[in-house]
């Protein structure tokens, strides 16, 4: 894996990891009834997911342009991490709605 591709995958992991933290903070805030804080934290998480997705898109564009990308454990981990955090986002939103009831 070349250095540029390695940095792209690390960026995806970092953005997704930060988003995960925001979503978990949002869930904790919801458990305390701090719903204004919840919305802010979810938006921060969403912004981080957008950054991760933009980074992922750059990688996909390279492959679509014909550049051969070596598959690595780091790349698989990055994709798995991003998908898991996107699922967490959806679950947190549902749990927040339950807390509000």
- Going from the C-alpha of 18 to that of each of 13, 37, 72, 98, the distances in angstroms are 9, 17, 22, 24
Catalytic residue among 37, 53, 62, 77: 77
Respond yes or no: is residue 53 known to be catalytic. no
- 48 vs 98: CA distance, rounded Å: 24
- 59 vs 5: CA distance, rounded Å: 7
Q: Exposure of 51 by Cβ count < 10 A (0-12 exposed, 13-18 middle, 19+ buried)? A: middle
Residues identified as active-site: 77
């Amino acid at each position: 894996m070349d250095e540029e591709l390695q940095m792209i995958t690390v960026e995806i992991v970092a953005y997704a990891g930060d988003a995960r933290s925001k979503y978990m903070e949002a869930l904790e805030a919801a458990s305390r009834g701090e719903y204004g804080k919840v919305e802010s934290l979810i938006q921060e998480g969403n912004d981080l997911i957008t950054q991760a997705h933009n980074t992922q898109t750059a990688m996909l564009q390279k492959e679509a342009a014909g550049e051969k990308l070596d598959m690595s454990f780091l790349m698989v981990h990055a994709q798995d991490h991003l998908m898991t955090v996107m699922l967490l986002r959806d679950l947190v939103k549902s749990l927040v709605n339950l807390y509000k009831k």
